Structure 1
Amino acid sequence: MTVETQQPAYTLVFDPSRSSSGYTVSDFQKALERGSDEDKVATMKRILVVMLEGNPLPELLMHIIRFVMPSKNKKLKKLLYFYWEIVPKLDNEGKLRHEMILVCNAIQHDLQHPNEYIRGNTLRFLTKLREAELLEQMVPSVMACLEYRHAYVRKYAILAVLSIYKVSDHLLPDAKELINTFLIAETDPICKRNAFVGLAELDREAALSYLEEHITSIELLDPLLQAAFVQFIRKDATLTPALKPQYVELLIDLLGSTTSSEVVFETALALTALSSDPSVLTNAASKLVDLAVKVFDNNVKLIVLDRIQDINDKNPGSLEELTLEILRVLNAEDMDVRAKALQISMGLVTSRNVDNVVKLLKKELQNTVSHSEKEKSMEYRQLLIKTIHTVAIRFAEVAASVVSLLLDFIPDLSSVAANGVISFIKEVIEKFPHLRSDILESLLAVMDNIKSAKAYRGASWILGEYAESNEEIQRCWKHIRASVGEVPILQSEMKKLANGAEDEEQATDKSESKRTGPIILPDGTYGTESAFDAVENPDTEESNSRTPMRRFVLNGDFYTASILASTIIKLVLRFENVSKDESVLNALKAEGLLILVSIVRVGQSSLVEKNIDEDSLERIVCAISILMDESDPAEKKSERELVEMAFLDATKSSFKTQVALFRKKNAKLSARNLNKTAEPLDNPIHFRQFAQANSNVAGSDMIEEDLQLALKGDTEKASANSVISKLKKIVPLTGFSDPVYAEAYITTHQFDVVLDVLLVNQTRETLKNLHVQFATLGDLKIIDNPTSTNVVPHGFHRLTVTVKVSSADTGVIFGNIIYDGAHGEDAHYVILNDVHVDIMDYIKPAKTEDENFRTMWNAFEWENKISVKSQLPSLHAYLRELVKGTNMGILTAAEALGEEDCRFLSCNLYAKSSFGEDALANLCIEKEPSTGQVVGHVRIRSKGQGLALSLGDRVALIAKQSGKVKLARI
């Protein structure tokens, strides 16, 4: 009987020089015949690399037996055993090759070698051998190694016994008793661990009895044996649910007593797989948190945090007590670790612990300001602000304190972080109306210190929308008046410049009257003074001392001035609704007109860095006309209602809609996550007490299922559409009239493409020495070219070619078929059709934040702009075709795309490739009223040129396909 075994994993050999592609079999044979041991080591490495890439090189077997196997060089012997792992040991008929008898004799000598490391290396090789005919002759030598004095030999000998029994139990019928006896007598911890693993796999009862004997002293055992016990317990509890309570108690005791990080990790995972008790899960997760804090490797921290998140996903609400404990991981310097810890903690925040969480986040935020010299401090600060934003929106009781805290930090924040704070305040002030007055007061107190124009525009919008009472409007107006400074701006700045010129002349006269010459120090030496140290920049100091709006205007930022104009209109209209004081209203209008006219005048002068743009000028002039029209007593009521709707109702209602959509989106996401772990009402309930003794109620081992999924993938999903997908990916390489018909089935993996080529001899003669040569264009590389063969008349031949893919650029595979002519004729050639590698297999739609999209858009230097001209019926139809053709995800909200029959459409798209490349796209299209065509542009940006060009080709292909003429009738 032969026990079913898994395919062994081959040892991988790295080749630093990729020059092996130029070597032939004869070159390898000559190098093995004539070279020294050092040359043979280099040659063996090249041979191993070629064989691991798919070429078996059967012609080299005898040369390696003759010229490599007799050598006593340790490096060469190690490489030789790597070669024995992967060399084909059976012939075409499935029988053992005769040359392997010589190999078997050499292996037996190595099993009896006086050097224990050669013995151990040979025994390790036997664990990867699956040929029973070879192993049969090794059994006596392996048995002798079980009693060898050195533990290095014994630890591999016991694994070899297990492997031989799994290949064929007839070779070692008493393997179970042998391993059990070895385990009882063994003293080395590694050998005991290997023996217990083998015993657990072959004889469950014997392993259970051994575990019971050592259950009282399990905390004193070696960590390797403890980990083996944990693995056995997890698997056995799945098979025998009756023992699960006892196993859980044992694992809890082991978790509390062990000091090994590996055992802590394995025990915690086993507990989460065996129990759903909240106290047990909390205990296991607490140990995992301690492990994440203690270890130094950031990759280990991320793995542990992922396991904690899995526990929370499968058992929602069970880890609420550990929210602050998980935030201890923020001490790590790695941003990915910090982001992961914050993500997990935000899912655990409740009204009971939100105060403590916010206090801790405040402390972390203060530390980022005090340690601003550290790298990535700015990025971490933005992450903390975003997290605090998320918490405050969910819990009203902390919103007020969070707003005041973040506003205090605004002067020290970057432009992006400050804008994030203002966006957060927008949402808070809309969601919690009772906090509006306090928030406005706090915002007005810090607006003078805002350095970012974008953040200041957001703050101005808040003033215009939410200042509703008489007192609030007047306080906002005082800030605007102080922020603009002395008006008219042009005349006051010209006066300052004139006064500054006079002061400069006086300073020049004083400097000329000073004594010039070298400086003599007290010790009698001459001192030097750098002119660079004495230079002052009065322009910079003066610019920093200006009020915010005045600084923005003089720097040429007139878009902010146009937002200020809208704020002034809103304040005037709202004051007119809430107050009947005509004198104050007229004063507000007059001051507003003076400020706006002053901004326009200075924008058209040479005093500013750049003149005012047309859009901003139009908006400011429109605001001036509205203020002038407000003083017209003959104004119609309908005109006033239209102005109020545009300024007082439209923008606030749009923001309310946006906030509501964001809440709805978050609610859907939470419901989707909860639905993953929810139990349907009609699921049957299993009572273990009512089940039979041998029934498996516990279900399958989730950890083992995850491991199999990682090894084999989702086999059910892959087999569902296997036939259809194969038919779609068959590409004809030659025509039916060619002497050789060839077609290829293309299989796309993550980093390579496999061509399964079928050749058909359509002639009545045998095609001798037929071989296929492939070459590539682009970032593709042929791993191995197939060897030549003879094809009988009307015969078939299959071959496999692997092509390595290194980026998502467009790649082309081309080649030809060559075979010898009859009676000394020249060789015949059949040219193959080109195979274009579909980059869409490597591009997947993705999501990202708008800020991150803008940052990448500015950073990426390669842009491909494609003109759009399509006959599709609507703009949304073209967008759907674009998404389908480029595999990109739409970042713009569906509500912002407009109706199906809209005339203008603009949106952003984003995708990531399997190689980590980012692809950005912006679509701006419209429908021409005269022709009805969809026209516009698609701009694609990426870090590399190839991806931008490849996606541009896909966009151009969409236009070609949509422009085809469809045949209606003949």
Structure 2
Amino acid sequence: MATFLDNAYSLVHQDNTADQPSLQDLKNQLEKGTDESKQETMKRILTIMLNGDPMPQLLMHIIRFVMPSKSKALKKLLYMYYEVCPKHDAGGKLKQEMILVCNGIRMDLQHANEYIRGNTLRFLCKLRDAELIEPLLAPARQCLEHRHSYVRKNAVFAIASIHQHNEALMPDAPELLQAFLESESDATCKRNAFAALISISHDQALEYLSSVFEGIPNADELLQLVELEFIRKDAVTNSQNKARYLRLIFDLLEAKESTVVYEAASSLTALTSNPVAVKAAAAKFIELSIKESDNNVKLIVLEKVNQLRRVNEGILDDLTMEILRVLSSPDLDVRRKALSIAMDMVSSKNVEEVVLLLKKELSKTVDEQYEKNNEYRSLLIHSIHQCAIKFSEVAASVVGLLMDFIADFNNASAVDVIQFVKEVVEKFPKLRGTIVGRLVSTLSEVRAGKVYRGSLWIIGEYSLEANDIREAWKHIRASLGEIPILASEQRLLEEQPDGEPNLNDQVNGNAKAAPTGSRKVLADGTYATESALTSQSAVKAKLEAVKAAQKPPLRQLILDGDYYLATVLASTLTKLVMRHSEISDDEARTNALRAEAMLIMISIIRAGQSQFVKHPIDEDSIDRIMSCVRSLAEFAQKRELENAFLDDTRKAFRDMVNVEEKKRAEKDALSKAKNAIQVDDVVSIRQLTKKNAVDGADEIQLDLEKATGGDSATEDLSSKLSRVVQLT
């Protein structure tokens, strides 16, 4: 990684290369400009250099006119320039000018201002030339004792960087940092010093950690985080310390700071897969997702829980109700994530508790207004659906609750409920009578066309007793209103006041000619003309009043132009008549139902062709309704018609339910297969791997993958082909 960074280059966009100043212009601006103008000049110089032009001729001008400046912003730009400027001549020797640069850096390391010292120390971390570094060692060491913490916290990184890249220049850096750690009181400085010590001497970092081990639970947050990072690495190389580390990490799970708890939980799952430890870590992740207000944090820790659940199948099932506490969050994405995880953890032990909680949440969406209320309601319905299909013991109570809310829900949620009810009524025959009865009783309250269609389909398919058919018929008729539809609507139109002239005022069927006007005397004695016109607008207003009048729900939907619903109604009535004929010996009753069904269907067609609907009925709907009329007329002679309506549709739906069930089973099997350990899988023994491994795998990285629940499977190289972009 270090080699890659050393050889990485940046390209900075230039708005217009034609405006690039010449070398002489830049020199003049550096000579004569103010500190503010020099800042702009330095930015332009850095942009040009980063884009490939080293501009070595400017080095002396910058040393003369920028280095002496006291401006902190200009000083920062100067050190950026030192990072990218050429420091060696063509022969590979250090340029003579760099002696002046080195002197300037040394003076800045002894500067009275702590910001300039700190910024210079940060530059020192990036310096690699031993000839430049050597004169700077003494002032860099002195910075470890500076009164300001900003200088000290940057000095420890500079010391570590010098030792890491030029060990001969500062061989005593580990001892220096260890002594600094023991005497330092500032938390940030101690954190940086320990992180620096880890990077250059693992053994001395371990020695220091052992000396302060008992005080770690009471240490500062920053220091605890870096110590946890070291513990995770050291447990790989010194496994004899693992038990001691685990006890410490369990203590850190109770820390006050959320960041420490998160890192401790992650470290715990990295060091052990013991069920108790995994459960404790997951519980802390869930606690964080409830406690933290940031939605991104909630999603991250919930994903950690999900990864732990996948890797440790069944261990976290007891935490299902804890995860559902996250539903108190107002964010929909967080709720969706929590529900998704909880649904994968539901078992026969906790399904009743889960469903009870989901019922309460569903009731809240009706009584209270959440953000994205409708989407949240759909999520809850889908989750309840999953529970009821997996565990039949809760299906009865769930269906009853959802059907109570059909009329209150918006269109999308109610459609979800109807889809759920359709699946339940097919899978659980014992619930059919109850469900059909509840559905029939709610017909008068339903206002959504899609919901009505689903309800009618269920009633038509699963009204299997004569009493059920009579109840269904009664409620459908009540929801349809007076028939024939056209005649009753026409009568309403005629009963509207202030409308067209009565038949008594007509001559030969034509209205008498109204006088064009009459004279009226006003209060001041003048005449005014009063006109009485029977206009088309009055007739139209009457028609609109009839359309806007309160009507039963099914009638209103059909007159609003929902002819798909009308065809479903025709099909449902046909099924009810055929089934009544099949199960009852009362032919008179069957014939009465048949006649009424035909009347309703023809009435719908006639109404659809009249002025009382929003738009005329389409040919396809007419054909479908007329086919139902013909089927009713002929089904006694043609048995295949009865089979088509009563058997084939049910069989098609049953097949569809079975396909969905099969898909769910395949998905569950695939999920289990991913986590299953095959009988011929290689058993990995870490102690043997360390001694005999040829590939030299990064064990720390493997542990991190385990901690995050990552999949260690190798990438499928063929997938890269999908990212190939044609360049010409």
TM norm structure 2: 0.85
Show the 5 A alignment for 1:462-861: 462-501=458-497, 545-630=550-635, 635=637, 639-641=638-640, 643-685=641-683, 700-702=699-701, 837=727
Say if 1:56 and 1:88, in contact at 8 Å, map to a contact too: no
How far is the alpha carbon of 1:539 from its aligned partner? 6.7
Task: Quote the residue 1:780 is aligned against.
Answer: none
Amino acid at match of 1:458: G
Q: Match of 1:701, SS?
A: helix
AA matched with 2:321? L
Selected match of 2:360 from 360, 363, 366: 363
Distance 1:604 1:443 in 2: 31
Contact 2:456 2:568 in 1 (8 A): yes
> Following the alignment from structure 2 to structure 1, what is the Cα–Cα distance between the partners of residues 165 and 265?
34
Paired amino acid for 2:193: A
Cα distance in 1 for residues equivalent to 2:591 and 2:307: 64
Aligned to 2:306: 309
Query: What SS does the corresponding residue of 1:410 show, helix, strand or coil?
Result: coil
Provide Cα deviations, 1:910-959, integer angstroms capped at 9, x if missing partner: xxxxxxxxxxxxxxxxxxxxxxxxxxxxxxxxxxxxxxxxxxxxxxxxxx
The answer to whether the 8 A contact 2:217-2:248 is kept is no
Which residue of structure 1 aligns with residue 243 of structure 2?
245
Contact 2:331 2:371 in 1 (8 A): no
**Alpha-carbon shift at residue 66 of structure 1 (Å):** 4.5
For the 8 Å contact 1:32–1:43, the answer to whether it is kept is yes
Change beyond 3 A, Cα 1:474–1:33 = farther
CA deviation string 1:28-65 (max 9, x = no partner): 6665455432233334445555666x545545752544
Q: Matched residues in 2 for 1:495 and 1:488: separation?
A: 11
Q: Which structure dedicates a bigger proportion of its chain to strand?
A: 1
> 1:130 offset after TM fit, Å?
3.8
Contact 1:5 1:166 in 2 (8 A): no
Quote how far apart the aligned CAs of 1:70 are: 3.1
Instruction: Give the residue type in structure 2 aligned to 1:399.
Output: A
Displacement of 1:415:
1.3
What displacement does 1:412 show? 2.3
**CA RMSD after TM alignment:** 3.7
Q: Would the alpha carbon gap of residues 73 and 389 (structure 1) be closer, same or farther in structure 2, given more than 3 Å must change? A: same
CA distance, structure 1, for counterparts of residue 465 and residue 565 of structure 2: 25
Distance 1:676 1:168, change over 3 A: farther
Counterparts of 1:93 and 1:426, CA distance in 2:
85
Aligned to 1:68: 66
Counterpart of 2:528 in structure 1 is none
Alignment deviations for residues 803-849 of structure 1 (CA, whole Å, 9 cap, x no partner):
xxxxxxxxxxxxxxxxxxxxxxxxxxxxxxxxx658xxxxxxxxxxx
Which deviates the most, 691-700 or 77-86? Answer: 691-700
**Deviations 1:458-489 (Å, cap 9, x if unpaired)?**
11111122222222222222222122111001
* Secondary structure at the counterpart of residue 406 of structure 2: helix
Q: 1:887-906 residue pairs with structure 2 within 5 A?
A: none
Question: Among residues 388, 394, 398, which one is paired with 1:402 in the alignment?
Answer: 398
CA 1:448 to 1:44, structure 2 compared with 1: closer, same or farther past 3 Å? farther
**Aligned in 2, Cα 1:145/1:681: closer, same or farther, shift over 3 Å?**
same
1:113 aligns with 2:118: no
Query: SS state of the match for residue 352, structure 1?
Result: coil
2:295 is equivalent to residue 298 of structure 1: yes
Q: Does 1:389 align with 2:385?
A: yes
Instruction: Output aligned runs, 1:310-349, within 5 Å.
Output: 310-349=307-346
CA contact (8 A) 1:483 1:549 kept: yes
Deviations 1:589-639 (CA, angstroms, capped at 9, x unpaired): 1111011010000001111110001111110111111112236xxx2xxx4
Question: Matches of 1:572 and 1:416 in 2, distance apart?
Answer: 31
Q: For 2:40, which of 27, 39, 42 is the aligned residue? A: 42
**SS at 2:664 equivalent:** helix
Q: Is the 8 A contact 1:4 1:167 kept in 2?
A: no
Shift of 1:319: 1.3
Report the Cα offset of residue 125 of structure 1.
2.2
Shift of residue 551, structure 1, vs aligned partner: 0.8
Give yes or no for contact 2:270–2:707 (8 Å, CA) kept in 1. Answer: no
142-151 or 131-140: which moved more?
A: 131-140
Read off the aligned partner of 1:342 and give its amino acid letter.
Answer: L
Partner residue in 1 for 2:204: 206
How big is the shift at 1:11?
A: 12
Change (3 A) 1:645 1:206: same
Question: In the aligned structure 2, how far is the partner of 1:596 from the partner of 1:163?
Answer: 88
Shift in alpha-carbon separation, 1:195–1:408, aligned structure 2, 3 A: same
Distance 1:127 1:579, change over 3 A: farther
CA offset at residue 375 of structure 1? Answer: 3.4
Cα 1:718–1:550 change in 2 (3 A) is: closer
Q: For residue 68 of structure 2, what is the amino acid of its counterpart? A: P
Taking a change above 3 Å as real, the CA distance of residues 679 and 66 of structure 1, as seen in their structure-2 partners, is: farther
The equivalent of 2:163 in structure 1 is: 165
Percent identity reads 45
- TM-fit CA distance, 1:271: 0.6
The verdict on how the C-alpha distance between 1:28 and 1:604 changes in structure 2, with shifts beyond 3 A counting, is farther
Paired residue for 1:273, among 263, 270, 275? 270
Secondary structure in 2 matching 1:468: coil
Query: Relative to structure 1, is the Cα distance of residues 294 and 567 closer, same or farther in structure 2, using a 3 angstrom cutoff?
Result: same
Residue 700 of structure 2 aligns with an amino acid whose one-letter code is D
Following superposition, the deviation at residue 330 of structure 1 comes to: 1.6
Task: For CA contacts below 8 A with separation 6 or more, give which structure has more relative contact order.
Answer: 2
1:512-538: CA deviations, max 9, x gaps? xxxxxxxxxxxxxxxxxxxxxxxx999
* Cα distance in 2 between the residues matched to 1:465 and 1:51: 79
The CA distance in 1 between the partners of 2:338 and 2:611, in whole Å, is: 53
- State the SS of the aligned residue for 1:347: helix
- The 1:662/1:40 distance shift into structure 2, 3 A limit, reads farther
How big is each residue's C-alpha offset from its partner over 1:220-266, in whole Å with a ceiling of 9 and x where there is no partner?
1111111111111111112223322222122101212x111110010
For residues 11 and 72 of structure 1, the distance between their equivalents in structure 2, rounded to whole angstroms, comes to: 30
Q: Which amino acid aligns with 1:617?
A: I
In the alignment, which residue of structure 1 is the partner of 2:438? Answer: 442
- Taking a change above 3 Å as real, the CA distance of residues 721 and 673 of structure 1, as seen in their structure-2 partners, is closer
Distance 1:577 1:231 in 2: 76
Whether the 8 Å CA contact 2:269–2:707 is kept in 1: the answer is no
Q: Amino acid of the residue matched to residue 488 of structure 1? A: P
Q: Deviations over 1:352-376 (max 9, x none)?
A: 111111121122222222223x431
- Aligned residue for 1:284, secondary structure, equals helix
Specify every segment of 5 or more residues in structure 2 that has no aligned partner in the other structure, as ranges.
502-540
Deviations 1:539-586 (A, max 9, x none): 799858422210111101111101111111222222222222211211
Query: Contact 1:268/1:284 (CA < 8 Å) preserved in 2?
Result: yes
The amino acid that maps onto 1:274 is: L
Q: Which has the larger radius of gyration?
A: 2
Partner of 1:283: 280
Partner of 2:273, secondary structure, is coil
CA contact (8 A) 1:158 1:194 kept: yes
Choose between structure 1 and 2: higher helix proportion.
2
Q: Distance in 1 between matches of 2:553 and 2:216?
A: 70
Q: Is the 8 A contact 1:10 1:85 kept in 2?
A: no
Residues 442 and 28 from structure 1, CA distance in 2 versus in 1: closer, same or farther, beyond 3 angstroms? Answer: farther
Question: Post-superposition shift, 1:213?
Answer: 2.4
Aligned pair count reads: 683
